[in-house]
Chains A and B, each alone.
Chain A
Amino acid sequence: MASGAPRPHGDPGLQPERTALAWGRTMLALVTASAFFLRWLPTYGPAILMLPVVSGGAALAIYLTQRSRYRARSHGLAGESIEADLPAVLWTAVAGVVLGALGIAVVVAG
């Protein structure tokens, strides 16, 4: 992974920027969902707290990796080679599946 300032990629389509913004939107959606889950704490009781822990944790993970992800992509596009970010896709999808499973457990129990 490159270090220092991102290498200018020269892409007129601004692909690394758009992808970083898509991750940013997803992070904000996760924060919104976390607040939403917390909103129903009086209805469901403490069990629902498992959900904002997962969604908030995923949002934090995106926040902490944004900078290095953008740098790697900007650098990669300059060299016309970007490796597909398989781990990031997998953990994001797993977070969604876990949230759904926890939600079903809370609704069934509540």
Chain B
Amino acid sequence: MTNSEQPRGPAAPSPRGRLAERLLPGGEEPDPRFTLANERTFLAWIRTSLALLAGGIAIEAFTSGLFIEPVRKGLAIILLLMGMMLSGGAAVRWLRVERSMRNKAPLPLPFFVPLLAGAGALAAAVVLVFILMR
């Protein structure tokens, strides 16, 4: 593992942990403002994920008059799965962005943006069909 890290500022950074050396190898420390911005974006995704998780749990109780049980459970599980993927995906994206910034490479595209948009549209369509058929 090569590590050509150089201290940037007047304050020498503390030695990095083993986990950081392993998951964020090489390159040099990016502008601290970028690191903080990346962290805030990660947290915004985590909050989106929490909204999906809370929605998944609520749908079972909220919609007993609207959906038959398999649809209700299916929707709840889809929302919970999306919330799970979003939480995990947010950490993966944070790592990829942090790696790109360390190596001064272009930032990766957020692969779960189209996924989330598609799943949201699909869920809205299912709800629409059920409301119209009621």
Q: Interface on A for B, CB 8 Å cutoff?
A: 11, 13, 15-16, 18-19, 22-23, 25-26, 29-30, 32-33, 36-37, 39-40, 43-44, 48, 51, 55, 73, 76-87, 89-90, 92-97, 99-101, 103-104, 106-108, 110
Contact = CB atoms under 8 A, between A and B. Distances in A.
A25 B43 CA distance: 9
Interface stretch (B85-93, B108-116, B125-133): B85-93
B20 A97 contact: no
Contact of A76 (B16, B17, B32, B95): B32
A48 B23 CA distance: 34
Given A37-B54, A100-B53, A26 B43 contact: yes
Contacts, number: 166
Interface string B26-62: 0001001101111110111011011101101110110
Residue of A22, A26, A78, A95 with most partner-chain B CB within 10 A: A22
Main secondary structure of the interface of A (DSSP, over half): helix
A108 B78 CA distance: 12
Contacts of A80: 8-11, 32
Nearest to B92: A93
Contact of A84 (B8, B24, B57, B58): B24
A4 to B, nearest CB: 16
B73 interface: yes
Interface of B: 7-14, 16-17, 19-20, 23-24, 29, 32-33, 35-40, 42-44, 46-47, 49-51, 53-54, 56-58, 60-61, 73, 76-77, 80-81, 83-88, 90-91, 94-95, 98
A99 B60 CA distance: 16
Contact of B80 (A13, A55, A87, A104): A104
Contacts of B7: 81
B91 A89 contact: yes
Contact of A79 (B11, B19, B40, B90): B11
Contacts of B11: 76, 78-81
A11 B58 CA distance: 42
A19 B34 CA distance: 11
Nearest to B86: A96
